Amino acid sequence: EIIAIPLPSWRVNLDGTLMILDRNTAIMHSDSLIFPAKLLEEDELIFVPEFLKDKGFDLIDVTDEEMKNFGPNILVINPHVAVSYSWNTHIISELEERSFEVFPLQGHELVKAAGGPHCMTCPVLRS
């Protein structure tokens, strides 16, 4: 399913708002997902949090402070194995409660480029 998700004017990209971590876990900043999104295949307007809940997703909502610290911007490197900035302790705790192994990244220099582990990683072709 393809969803066109409008973002507030102050959001740079979706990585800082919503990250699908696996088939039933997502992390999001719900205050950034207040506009109706468009489910393209059905030409229908939806609200993303409710849509994901209806699909059976366990949603981890982050605070404004966590969002400002690139909390939703997490890199999943294997099923239930992720990388997050070390200062996102609440998010890391929430993920660990859901059986994720989280590698905390000391990203004080990386964050100066205004991104998180996911958006600052180049995808690699895997077999």
Average model confidence (pLDDT) across the chain: 90
pLDDT of residue 16: 85
Cα 27 from Cα 94, distance rounded (Å):
10
pLDDT in tens, the chain (127 residues): 899 999 888 877 888 899 999 999 999 999 999 999 999 988 899 999 999 999 999 999 999 998 888 888 999 999 999 999 999 999 999 999 999 999 999 887 777 777 788 877 776 766 6
Tally of CB atoms within 10 A around 60 = 21
Cα 106 from Cα 124, distance rounded (Å):
22
pLDDT of residue 126: 66
Residue 74's alpha-carbon distances to 12, 57, 67, in angstroms, are 16, 17, 11
Order of all β-strands in the sheet with 75-78: 75-78, 81-85, 101-105
pLDDT of residue 97: 97
Global pTM value: 0.85
* CA proximity to 57, closest of 86, 84, 85, 33: 33
